[in-house]
């Protein structure tokens, strides 16, 4: 069965993984055949990563505070009064960091997985194996949409694509049959309804179904009433 790639795509999630690894790796050092020096190196690697991330986040927060301080200096009241002290950026120790931390962490992970004492349970606890991808049953997939009407008979649709290739939107005038009106490959998306009577308001119902590999996928959505003009 397929599994997700173990390394998260977002940096905050990466930090959570590395912090979890740092806290737990000592519990498995012996069974994984890690020497005290190797354990120290692994923990320092994690500290290097987390610290570098935190320094940048602190600098971002300080920059926001600096901008607010500048604006107070420019426009604060009372004019001529003494401004508060400027925010101070964090002090980053010189030569305290090593390069290629992520590359080194990947190499450490590969050595752990190749260790004779390694087990799937260890990998899961350390967060260095991806979660199993459980296929979604098509009969459980239904578009959940939000609609908004705009001027000149335009309708906007938003909602998750749920991994589908496209969304086929159908429209039925009041008392009429459904017919395709739009084919969206991402959301939100907009389309225009041609009224039965030009320049007159029109009411009807919209529904949609996902398309995957050129075939309908899952169930039709609920019917969404719209009035356009």
Q: What is the pLDDT of residues 66-83, one digit of tens each?
A: 999 999 999 999 999 999
> Could you tell me the pLDDT band of residue 95, with boundaries at 50, 70 and 90?
confident
Please give the pLDDT value at position 1. Answer: 57
C-alpha–C-alpha distance, residues 6 and 151, integer Å: 47
Res 5: pLDDT: 92
pLDDT for residue 129 is more than 60: yes
- In the chain the domains, ranked by start, together with CATH numbers, are 11-126 (no CATH), 139-228 (2.60.40.10)
pLDDT in tens, 140-190: 899 999 999 999 999 999 999 988 999 999 999 998 999 999 999 999 999
What's the confidence (pLDDT) of residue 222?
Answer: 96
pLDDT-derived band at 4 (thresholds 50, 70, 90) equals confident
Q: What is the pLDDT of residue 102?
A: 97
Give CA 53 to chain center in angstroms. 18
CA distance 115 to 109: 10
Let me know how many helices (H) and strands (E) the chain has, helices first: 4, 8
Q: In sequence order, what are the residues at sequence separation of 6 or more whose Cβ sits closer than 8 angstroms to the Cβ of residue 16?
A: 8
CA dist 172 and 208 (Å) reads 11
208 CB-near residues (< 8 Å, 6+ apart): 143, 145, 157, 167, 168, 169, 170, 220, 221
Read off the tokens for 7.
């390394």
> What pLDDT does 106 receive?
97
- In this structure, the strands spanning 224-228 and 179-184 are unpaired
Helix (H) or strand (E) holding 26: helix 11-28
pLDDT confidence bin for 134, thresholds 50/70/90: confident
Q: Provide the percentage of residues in the chain whose pLDDT is more than 70.
A: 100
pLDDT at residue 121 is higher than 60: yes
Which span out of 88-97, 127-136, 167-176 was modeled with the highest average pLDDT?
167-176
């Amino acid at each position: 069965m397929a599994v997700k790639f173990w390394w998260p795509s977002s940096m905050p999630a990466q930090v959570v993984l590395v912090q979890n690894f740092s806290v737990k790796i000592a519990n498995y050092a012996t069974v994984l055949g890690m020497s005290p020096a190797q354990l120290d190196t692994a923990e320092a690697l994690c500290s290097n990563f987390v610290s570098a991330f935190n320094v940048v986040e602190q600098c971002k927060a300080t920059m926001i505070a600096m901008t607010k301080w500048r604006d107070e200096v420019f426009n604060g009241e009372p004019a001529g009064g003494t401004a508060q002290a400027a925010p101070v950026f964090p002090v980053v120790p010189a030569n305290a960091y090593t390069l290629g931390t992520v590359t080194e962490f990947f190499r450490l992970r590969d050595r752990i997985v190749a260790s004779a004492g390694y087990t799937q349970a260890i990998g899961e606890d350390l967060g260095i194996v991806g979660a199993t991808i459980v296929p979604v049953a098509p009969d459980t997939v239904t578009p959940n949409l939000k609609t908004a009407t705009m001027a000149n008979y335009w309708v906007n649709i938003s909602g998750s694509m749920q991994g589908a290739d496209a969304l086929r939107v159908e429209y039925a005038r009041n008392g009429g049959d459904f017919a395709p009106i739009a084919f969206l490959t991402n959301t939100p998306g907009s389309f225009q309804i041609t009224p039965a009577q030009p320049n007159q308001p029109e009411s009807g119902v919209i529904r949609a179904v996902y398309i995957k590999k050129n075939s309908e996928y899952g169930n039709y959505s609920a019917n969404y009433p719209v009035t356009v003009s």
